[in-house]
Amino acid sequence: MENKPVKSSLKTSAGKSRGRAVAPRTQLDPERWVDEAIDVLAKEGVSGLRVEVLAKRCGVTKGSFYWHFKDRQALLDALLEQWKVGRIRDIEKTTAVTPGNEREQLHYAIEVYGASRNRKGMSIELAVRDWARHDARAAAVVEEVDLYRLECTRKLFVAAGMSDAEAKSRSLLLYAYVFGQSLMAYDRFDPKIIDIKQWISRYIVSGGADKSTGPSDGTAPR
């Protein structure tokens, strides 16, 4: 006798009505939820971070969210922690002191943090900062990251031969410049805008010690 496969008698209602197997549920880990949340934050701000929206983006039910997070605040805390850890890791990678290359590293830091190089990263940065204006937890995390940024570049300036006082001033100037330019539309300000930005970078890094001429009028940094 021919052995025929036994058909299972267990079917879901969807399987009966449609005559096909039901796809298994998608399982998401906490990291996926946080990654989606960061993407929404960059585009819509913290007000757009709603459980229903995230669940729809991920193609799952809200029950999957509550399996990993107690509530929305728990997700926000996880998002801030991931942003902080990521920022600190990138800061360390960009500003670790390499003897003899400190000035080159400072120029590189200015270039990396420029909005034109990393638009998505800057969108996330600005969204977190806007969030921090209204939320004490976010404000504390932003302050922690900012102080770490300033301290790392201060060490670079000191290693480049500057006094501690001057190093602190130039560290603050560096970040005031890179974050300030990210808020402005300046590409049509001057045909030689790239030269101007390079001159500014040299001024921040070397100041009066840099005898190179200015971008267009032949003046040296003062």
CA 45 to chain centre: 14
Instruction: Report domain 27-184's class.
Output: mainly alpha
CA distance 57 to 51: 10
* Torsion of the alpha carbons at 34, 78, 48 and 91, rounded to the nearest 10: -80
Q: For residue 70, give the DSSP letter.
A: S
Q: Give residue for tokens 């031969």.
A: 161
pLDDT score at 87: 93
3 state DSSP class of 173: helix
Tokens found for residue 59: 């193609």
The ranges assigned to domains in the chain are 27-184
- With CA atoms as reference, report the closest residue to 49 among 64, 39, 61: 39
CA distance 185 to 135: 28
pLDDT score at 216: 55
**Threshold 0.85, pTM exceeds:** no
Q: Do 155 and 148 meet the contact criterion of CB atoms below 8 Å apart?
A: no
Q: Do 110 and 174 meet the contact criterion of CB atoms below 8 Å apart?
A: yes
Tokens found for residue 76: 């926000």
The per-residue pLDDT string of the chain (222 residues; one tens digit each, 9 = 90 and over) reads 444 443 433 343 344 434 444 333 556 788 888 998 999 999 999 998 888 888 888 888 788 788 888 999 999 999 999 999 999 999 999 888 888 889 999 998 998 877 555 677 888 989 999 999 999 999 999 999 999 999 999 999 999 999 999 999 999 999 999 988 878 888 899 999 999 999 999 999 987 555 555 555 545 444
